[in-house]
Amino acid sequence: MALDAPQLNSLGFAKPPSETRVVVAMSGGVDSSVVAAQLAEEGYDVVGVTLQLYDHGAALAKKGACCAGIDIHDARRVAEDMGFPHYVLDYENIFKDAVIDEFADSYLAGATPVPCIRCNERVKFKDLLETAKDLEADCMATGHYIQRKIGAQGPELHCAEDANRDQSYFLFSTTPEQLAYLRFPLGHLPSKDATRELAARYGLQVADKPDSQDICFVPNGNYASVIEKLRPGAAEPGEIVHADGRVLGQHNGVIHYTIGQRRGLGIGGLEEPLYVVKLDVDAKQVIVGPKDMLSTRIVPVREINWLGDAPFTSRDEWHVSVKVRSTRPPREAIVRPVSDTEAQVELLTPEEGVSPGQACVFYETEGSRILGGGWIWRGY
């Protein structure tokens, strides 16, 4: 008589929750707090960990960004209320080296960086994940809105049930090895309201806490002021030049501009609307032109993380959908591998404002699976 297969718990392990240790990455916000509370209520051996990523002395009173001092306090309070241990790890040096310095350098090079992806890739899913293993945890759970499903070849990454909350763009660089260890308990929820309802049910004081909006080390979304502090002299003035060579005005630093920008150029009175089409950091020039100059069909991508079942270079081309900005829906494209980590992406419908430093994320055209992605390194 065949033995029944062992019953798996909600995290996918063939043992009781009480014997399953899970490290929960807690930012102090409602999402990760709900994950920790839910797993604790289910009887798991929960360990909460919060990262101190930068000097939060100046940010203690700042709302709208994660990992500031008040968030550490909030995470600790959730752990106390739910009765599990909580640790705060000082990752300031790691965060500065792995995220902040590159953010400053790439911004100065005329790119539009996405530091939240690098933070997930180089800090949370690397060093913190190793810490979770050191704590002998069976897995690590986060409050990200994304789904992990078991496919024919093992764990797969899928978009969140709620398209408005989906964070797949920021998690494309999650490797298969990391995916085997990670869990995302909120990805199947229909809405953020459902998360807040759970928070209220668990009696969490963060149930009504506002979502974080800014990059955590960029108060009020003012990139330029942060860059000036990190790289003194970065805001050197120069010329605003039309693509046809005409000098149209002066600017007070390339760092104050982004590809695709139209407002605030300080060159009013012209007949045609002009947009920033290129940033020439070496020449200290902001180059502007008509909107059609922003339209891009071919996008070179590198540092590719591939999550498909077959090797990336096993085909000459992959017909997928891609996102070139977090706020845009996926559009159909052809990805042509150049190597295991480089490709040319052809957009079937040209996109405007494709910018170096942004991610290009690959999706199944039919379905919810994320196939990986890479970094746009010359979008014009």
Task: Please give the annotated binding residues for ATP, written as ranges.
Answer: 25-32, 51, 143
Beta bridge partners of 362: 322, 372
One of 67, 116, 119, 360 is an active-site residue; which one? 119
Q: Across the chain, where does the E strand assignment appear? A: 21-25, 45-52, 86-90, 139-141, 146-151, 154-159, 182-183, 238-242, 247-251, 275-280, 285-289, 295-306, 318-323, 331-337, 343-352, 359-363, 370-376
One of 67, 116, 216, 360 is an active-site residue; which one? 216
- How far apart (Å, rounded) are the C-alpha atoms in residues 327 and 24? 27
**Is 139 designated active site?**
no
Four-point Cα dihedral 62, 63, 69, 73, nearest 10: 150
**Is 216 designated active site?**
yes
- How far apart (Å, rounded) are the C-alpha atoms in residues 163 and 67? 25
- Write the DSSP string, 111-135: ----HHHHHIIIIIIIIIHHHHHHT
Catalytically active residues, by annotation: 119, 216
